[in-house]
Amino acid sequence: MSRDLRHTFDSAASSYQDARPDYPVELYADLLAITAITPPAHLLEIGCGPGKATLPLARMGFRITAIELGAALAAEARHRLAAFADASVITSSFEDWEPPTGARFDLAYAATAWKWVDPAVKYAKAAKLLTPGGHLAVWDADHAMPADFDPFFTEIQQVYEEIGEGHDGPWPGPTPEELPNPVAAEFDASGHFTVVGTRLYVWAQRYTADEYIALLDTFSGHIAMEPAKNEHLYQEIRRRLAERPDGRLTRHWSVVLTVGRRL
């Protein structure tokens, strides 16, 4: 995975919030239970995008400093957070951001953003910015492949193969329960955090062809894909879904929450 791809998301700033699914409400409840934080604790969000994970926590009354690399995404987040005086968005990479002298946070978190941050920097810098006993929480929303996944995805893999964008590794991949949690191993190996909780969430969402293509247009690989490949792929998605009685597919999502306490 090239870290250069993290710059692609800014082009999807206007559509990202609506196209991507909301994170499960249970995730936020578990996050608060594991960390024991309560409003108005001060939170640091690393890579907030348009505010997908910022808004739910701002509504709870937390103070939030959010860092976002993309200027358009940061502007979108500021617009959506305008009603929350205690939420601020700073346009910067986390690596380059210079926090105010003495700034400390009760929780740092990253929602579908942590993998884009320089591994040589992220754990040490996050730990330095946390209060004693503070926590780091990381989660990602990924395509899940449970045993009953929609056969559409096996069919469309043939098209990805045709355009040279095939799936890495065996198909289908492991079920969500079978997947390892490399982030937990990273936490422990960092020397800065010990894992104090992990949770898995899996759910299904239905999409029309237009809705699914809008979702794909928020993924770095599709944003960076050659236009001719994208056009062929999207034509095939529309054609195949048009053959279904309701014109929809079911995509499963999984999120793994990993929470570590600062050593």
Going residue by residue through the chain (263 aa), what tens digit of pLDDT does each one get?
A: 444 555 566 656 667 788 899 999 999 999 999 999 999 999 999 999 999 999 999 999 999 999 999 999 999 999 999 999 999 999 999 999 999 999 999 999 999 999 999 999 999 999 999 999 999 999 999 999 999 999 999 999 999 999 999 888 888 999 999 999 999 999 999 999 999 999 999 999 999 999 999 999 998 888 888 999 999 999 999 999 999 999 999 999 999 999 999 99
Q: How many folded domains does the chain comprise?
A: 1
The CATH number of the domain where 143 resides is what?
A: 3.40.50.150
What pTM was computed for the model? 0.92
Q: Look at residues 7, 1, 45, 6 and name the one whose alpha carbon lies nearest to residue 23.
A: 45
Q: Which structural domain, as residue segments, surrounds residue 209?
A: 3-262
How are strands ordered across the β-sheet holding 130-144?
A: 87-91, 63-68, 42-46, 105-111, 130-144, 248-262, 193-208
Give CA–CA dist 23/139, Å, rounded: 10
